[in-house]
């Protein structure tokens, strides 16, 4: 298992557009990528500009393949102007 967390701070007024894009990317990831097991999109109800992703892949190679897919590349390009900051962390499984 390989977990990826991403925190986004979205520009004011861009929250709806960003969420539409990330929902499409998450759906395509789970639907089309055999190595993507889970892709959760979370928002703090009190701070809708804070978006948190929690993704589970079979392994690092599956995550690296994810970043080469057309849906991810399209999402990344379209969402970039909507984002103030982005922080990515990755975790390998230690115990299950």
**pTM assigned to the model:** 0.93
Q: Which domain holds residue 24?
A: 2-92
Q: DSSP label at 49?
A: E
Q: State the pLDDT at residue 89.
A: 98
Instruction: Give residues with Cβ within 8 angstroms of 75, minimum separation 6.
Output: 21, 22, 24, 25
CATH number at residue 67: 3.30.70.100
Q: State the pLDDT at residue 39.
A: 98
Which of 82, 89, 26, 73 is CA-nearest to residue 49? 82
Using CA atoms, how far residue 38 sits from 17, 27, 35, in Å, is: 22, 10, 9
Domain count across the chain? 1
pLDDT digit of tens for each residue in the chain (96 aa)?
Answer: 999 999 999 999 999 999 999 999 999 999 999 999 999 999 999 999 999 999 999 999 999 999 999 999 999 999 999 999 999 999 998 787
Q: State the pLDDT at residue 93.
A: 83
């Amino acid at each position: 298992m390989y977990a990826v967390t991403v925190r986004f701070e979205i520009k004011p007024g861009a929250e709806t557009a960003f969420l539409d894009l990330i929902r499409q990317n998450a759906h395509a990831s789970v639907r089309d990528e055999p190595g993507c097991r889970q892709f959760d999109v979370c928002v703090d109800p009190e701070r809708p500009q804070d978006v948190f992703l929690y993704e589970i892949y079979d392994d690092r190679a599956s995550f690296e393949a994810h970043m080469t897919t057309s849906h991810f590349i399209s999402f990344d390009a379209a969402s970039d102007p909507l984002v103030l900051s982005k922080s990515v962390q990755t975790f390998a499984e230690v115990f299950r």
